[in-house]
Structure 1
Amino acid sequence: MVEEEGRIIAVAEDHLWLQTTQKSSCDSCRGRNVCGQRLLQNLNESHGLLKVPLDGRAQRDFKLQDRVSIGIEESTLVRASAIAYLIPLLMLIVLAYVGQQLGGEGLSILGAVLGLLLGSLWGRYRLAAADCQSRYQPRLLQ
């Protein structure tokens, strides 16, 4: 399970809004105290907002600014990554090849763009489908 810690910024009836900080590999490096890359990473630190379902837990158990642990299964993360990245890339390659076979460079470029667009739209539709939304959401661990 991939785990992360987040800070509660809002509590709703059936979910929490968490703010997480994206970390880089600098946090585990021995040379982090003398490296210029870490300074750049600290300047560009980004924060993500996540909607996490309460899964039947009481709303009153959570307060603003509390820190909670969330997690998602590795297999779920790999599946979502394949849908979001691998499928559009494969469609780009296949339609570029088809375009090349049908009419040369111009159709190959058009096929590549069309493949990327169609693959991205399909992935977006698939990940947004009602049956998938709960599967790809992080869960409260504590």
Structure 2
Amino acid sequence: MVEQLASVVATETNGVWLTTTPVTSCNACNVSDECGTGIVAKTLTPRQHRFFVTTELRLLPGEQVKIAVSEQNLVQAALMVYFLPLVLMLIASLVASHSLQLAEGWVMLAALFGASLGFLFARRFGQWQQQKSEQIHILQILPQLALQQT
């Protein structure tokens, strides 16, 4: 299981809305402000992810929880998002160039269509997986520390 800390943003009758802040390796480097990769990672990485988790636990906004996702679900999602569009792009371009013997511009359009179809399938599969079973589990509620100034 891959674990992450999350904050409760809002509650509903059947679950809670959580946010997590993505952890990147570029934040730990000393030269991340001058490095091109670090600058791109900070620019393109979303600041927070927000998602809904079905739970019977009674949580309050502001509470911290530890959540977990199985490695199998992460690998499956990565294959769907990265591998499927690539394979469909290659198949579409091979069919367009060899079987249909189209011009290079049409082959590029077929490759773009295949990749887009792969991303569409990945999105639909992700929505279907999310409805089929809950992927994210709340492992524990973290204790709140209250600091008082004297």
TM-score (norm: length of structure 2): 0.76
Q: Which residue of 1 aligns with 2:135?
A: 137
- Shift, 1:122, TM fit: 1.6
SS of residue matched to 1:36:
coil
Q: Which residue of 2 aligns with 1:36?
A: 33
| C-alpha RMSD over aligned residues | 2.4
Q: Which residue of 2 aligns with 1:89?
A: 86
Structure 2: gaps of 5 or more residues: 141-150
Count residues with an aligned counterpart.
132
Select the structure that is richer in helix.
1
- Shift, 1:58, TM fit: 3.4
Q: Which residue of 2 aligns with 1:74?
A: 71
TM-score (norm: length of structure 1): 0.80
SS of residue matched to 2:60:
coil
| Alpha-carbon distance in 2 for matches of 1:124, 1:58 | 29
- Shift, 1:107, TM fit: 2.5
- Cα–Cα, structure 1 residues 66 and 37, in superposed 2: closer, same or farther, change >3 Å? farther
Structure 1: gaps of 5 or more residues: none
- Shift, 1:113, TM fit: 1.4
| Alpha-carbon distance in 1 for matches of 2:124, 2:76 | 15
- Cα–Cα, structure 1 residues 64 and 37, in superposed 2: closer, same or farther, change >3 Å? farther
Counterpart check, 1:118 vs 2:117? yes
1:37-95 alpha-carbon deviations (Å, 9 max, x no partner): 599549x76111021111xx332xx1110100111001111101111221011100110
| Alpha-carbon distance in 2 for matches of 1:52, 1:72 | 12
Identity of aligned residues (%): 27
